[in-house]
Amino acid sequence: MGQIVPDLVERYLRGLNHAADAVLDAIARDGDAAHLPLVDAEVGALLRVLAASIGATRILEIGTCIGYSGIWLAGALPKHGMLITMEKDAARAAIAKANFERAGLSDRVSVMVGDAALKIVKVSGPFDLIFQDGHKPLYNTLLEPLVARLRPGGLLITDNVLWNGEVVPGFVNTPARNADDTRAISEYNERLASHPQLLTSIVPLRDGVAISVKRTVA
Ligand SMILES: C[S@@+](CC[C@H](N)C(=O)[O-])C[C@H]1O[C@@H](n2cnc3c(N)ncnc32)[C@H](O)[C@@H]1O
């Protein structure tokens, strides 16, 4: 549990979330056991709602890990839809591929193995939705390439933008997270807020989720 949403509220939200299934629950347990930083089911449900709300057919994800958030996203795609998801760690990518298979979604998911900073030039837009959840210092590097690959009206969703409250001056007495990552996220949040092509709202769910829509008019 994080520090942003009180535990009781997190538990209440979890109790109301019936969208997870046995496969997602099993992957979440695997992630917990291996101490992997996966989104939780409430952020997963938010991703699926957002993808469904815009009728997304092309989704890009940075930071697959073992496929948990990818399954939430791909579950909103129609049969002809496509999720492209990038993961640097080959072992995690292999588990993700197996998990997409388990979830019955491998026909609409492509896992790209490698550094997203290098792989990004290999994918062309437009995407309806892009989920940034990779290496935090990469958030800034990838911002412009991702905005360029997003269709007008499309959504850029970014996880961990409150960084357990450590980006909020005075909120955390003893910071535990990497200071470079904290600085990178603070800078990223400022860039999102002032980006001329984006309208952004940060939802203080779990570790903070930024939802940015690409403007249709300048
Ligand atoms: C926070 S985890 C992603 C969790 C996943 N989105 C989920 O909720 O199920 C971040 C992932 O990004 C991967 N990663 C780190 N640097 C990367 C890079 N340069 N390119 C692609 N993936 C990267 C890590 O190996 C890790 O698995």
Over residues 135-189, the pLDDT tens digits come to 999 999 999 999 999 999 999 999 999 999 999 988 888 888 899 999 999 999 9
Residue 218 CA to ligand 1 center (angstroms) comes to: 32
> Domain spans of the chain?
7-214
Q: Is the CB of 34 under 6 A from ligand 1?
A: no
**pTM exceeding the 0.75 threshold for the entire prediction:** yes
Residue 125 near residue 154 (C-beta atoms within 8 A): no
CATH topology of domain 7-214: Rossmann fold (3.40.50)
Ligand 1 atom closest to the CA of 116, numbered from 1: 20
Residue 214 near residue 57 (C-beta atoms within 8 A): no
Q: Is the CB of 160 under 6 A from ligand 1?
A: no
Task: Name every residue whose Cβ is closer than 8 Å to that of residue 59 and which is 6 or more positions away in sequence.
Answer: 51, 73, 74, 77, 81, 82, 83, 84, 127, 128, 129, 130, 131
User: Band of the pLDDT at 17, cuts 50, 70, 90?
Assistant: confident
Helices (H), 17-125: 22-33, 41-53, 68-74, 90-102, 116-119
Mean pLDDT of 24-31: 96
Structure tokens at 104: 């019955």
Over residues 85-134, the pLDDT tens digits come to 999 999 999 999 999 999 999 999 999 999 999 999 999 999 999 999 99
Plot region of 205 (φ>0 → left; ψ -120 to 50 → alpha; else → beta): beta
Over residues 40-91, the pLDDT tens digits come to 999 999 999 999 999 999 999 999 999 999 999 999 999 999 999 999 999 9
Residue 93 CA to ligand 1 center (angstroms) comes to: 10
The percent of residues in the chain predicted with pLDDT above 90, rounded, is 86
User: Band of the pLDDT at 2, cuts 50, 70, 90?
Assistant: low
pLDDT at position 75: 97
Q: Is residue 191 predicted with pLDDT exceeding 80?
A: yes
Structure tokens at 71: 């399954």
Q: Is the CB of 154 under 6 A from ligand 1?
A: no
Over residues 154-165, the pLDDT tens digits come to 999 999 999 999
Cα Rg, the chain, nearest whole Å: 16
Q: Is residue 33 predicted with pLDDT exceeding 60?
A: yes
Q: To test ligand 1's pocket by mutation, which of 135, 142, 206, 209 has the most ligand atoms within 8 angstroms of CB?
A: 135
Looking up tokens 């800078």 gives 187
The percent of residues in the chain predicted with pLDDT above 70, rounded, is 99
Q: Is the CB of 88 under 6 A from ligand 1?
A: yes
Residue 131 CA to ligand 1 center (angstroms) comes to: 11
Residue 155 CA to ligand 1 center (angstroms) comes to: 19
Higher pLDDT, 2 or 167: 167
pLDDT at position 187: 97
Do you know the residue count of the chain? 218
Residue 91 near residue 162 (C-beta atoms within 8 A): no
**Atom 26 of ligand 1: nearest residue by CA position:** 65
Q: Is the CB of 138 under 6 A from ligand 1?
A: yes
Identify which of 78, 86, 71 has the alpha carbon closest to the alpha carbon of residue 54: 78
